[in-house]
Amino acid sequence: MKLERPRGTRDFLPEEMKKRREMEKILRRIAESYGYGEIATPTFEHVELFTLKSGESIVEEMYVFKDKSGRELALRPELTAPVMRLYVNSCEVMPKPLRFYYFANCFRYERPQKGRYREFWQFGVELIGSDSHLADAEVIMLAYEMLKALKVEFKLEIGHVGIMRDVLKGIENSDRIMRLIDKNQIDELEKFMNDCKVDEKVKDRVFRLIELKGDASILEKVNFAEKEIERLKRIAEILDAAKVEYEFDLGIVRGLDYYTGVVFECYAPNLGAQKQICGGGSYELASLFGGQKTPATGFAIGFDRVYEVCNVDGEKIRTVFVVAFEDTYLDALKIAKMLRNSGFVAVIDVMERNLKKQLSYANDIKAEFAVLVGKNELEEGKVSVKDLKSGQQIDVPIKELTNFLSSRTV
Ligand code: HAM
């Protein structure tokens, strides 16, 4: 019986992993350059951590199971709630603000399709302890810089959930309304609001807000929620000065229920249906988890979606194949070690193959050179170096081998 991997999961081969690691390196470097430090939390948590506030959709989409003692646990569908649990457990007394970042796998029981997986990776940050618009602006700039560094083509859209919440204040089922707005299910939204007999004036405002998209001038068209609009204006000033390109979209309400203030999303137009590559905003979860009320803001980049549209290559490492024979194997091992110590990738035969097959394999793995360790050359303190592109072959003293290869490789 051939075993398959679970639906919605993936395997990664070396080529992919190389690019993923390179992306990761870039993201880590930028996060750290802003003073964010890496944290890690468990892969599974008590289910309540997520059911308390993460929103209806996430709860339906969770992997939930009981352990042998009957505890109800869930594989993490995201990391904001775990990070805030960690904050309440261990970091409340630390000097604010706290800057954390993470790179971790998440699990959601969604219907798999291109760009939507049941196991996927997020690279995210949380900035904890500041209620200022400056904190919102910092995380937006950070997300922007990260996606730019990955050479991704994308659009950044910024909104404020407080504005829609203001419109829906006191309205029953406002959570469901927000969710329909988030999913952009406009027909259903209209039907639902009709069914719930939502006041015409409120309905009108909801639809006007959804359509408000564009530069800072659209903010002038809103004559309520003054505090929220003022905040967006102040953020706009900072982003403009930092040459961040963005649009306001007052219809952005985000799927997770914990957002309270400024929210933002990034889209890669080339990705089709699952084009949201980053989402975030400000929220308050600490008090829900038993801590002091603490403002926080952050975002998570959908690493797997960005992978599809990002243009970074894995680091190019020079590869040399060491052709060894039975009577020279121990010397060949020493030569391989010397090459590795000098920064080359040195691959040596482990199949006891003949010369022709070893050279053919060297080509298969895209080695640039083959170093032939033959008995006769060894006796003269030399090896034979074959350039696998040109086919040229010359003898080189072992002492000069690394210099010789360094001067020839790109
Ligand atoms: P989210 O929008 O649910 O936000 O997820 C963030 C990103 O993860 C999405 O924009 C998307 O790119 C990616 N993503 C989500 N689900 C999948 C999936 N099934 N397959 C592949 N990629 C996926 C959060 O999770 C918040 N915790 C972000 C945040 C951090 N807000 C504040 N701090």
For residues 227 and 270, membership in a common domain is answered with yes
Q: What is the mean pLDDT of each run of 10 residues along the chain (410 residues)?
A: 96 95 97 98 96 80 96 97 98 98 97 96 98 98 98 97 92 89 90 91 92 94 93 97 97 89 96 95 97 98 97 84 97 98 97 97 97 97 97 97 85
Domain hosting 395: range is 319-408
Of 309, 329, 348, which one is at a domain's C-terminal end? Answer: 309
Instruction: Please check whether residues 305 and 324 belong to one and the same domain.
Output: no
Ligand 1, residues at Cβ distance < 6 Å: 78, 80, 108, 110, 116-117, 120, 122, 124, 126, 255-256, 276-281, 298-300, 302, 304-305
Ligand 1 atom 1, closest CA: 279
Give the CATH number for residue 334.
Answer: 3.40.50.800
Which of 291, 309, 327 is the last residue in one of the domains?
Answer: 309
Are 265 and 355 in the same domain? no
Residues 87, 235: one domain? yes
Q: Output the residue whose Cα is nearest ligand 1's atom 10.
A: 278
- Structurally, the chain folds into a number of domains equal to 2
> Is 299 in the same domain as 340?
no
Tell me what pLDDT residue 117 has: 98
C-alpha pair distances (Å), 311 with each of 30, 283, 316, 338, 377: 17, 32, 15, 34, 44
Atom from ligand 1 closest to the CA of residue 282: 32
Q: What whole-number distance in Å separates Cα of residue 73 and Cα of residue 71?
A: 6
CATH number of the domain enclosing 75: 3.30.930.10
- Both 143 and 218 in one domain: the answer is yes
Is 121 in contact with 106 (CB distance < 8 Å)?
yes
Count of CB atoms within 10 A of residue 183's CB?
13
How is residue 326 written in tokens?
């039975």
Q: pLDDT at position 53, please? A: 84
Instruction: Based on the fold, state whether residues 242 and 362 are members of the same structural domain.
Output: no
62 and 193 both lie in a single domain? yes
Please identify, among 248, 283, 309, the residue that sits at the C-terminal boundary of a domain.
309
* CA separation, residue 37 to residues 98, 126, 283, 303 (Å): 9, 10, 20, 19
84 and 127 together in one domain: yes
What is the CA(4)–ligand 1 centre distance, in A? Answer: 26
Residue 57: predicted pLDDT: 73
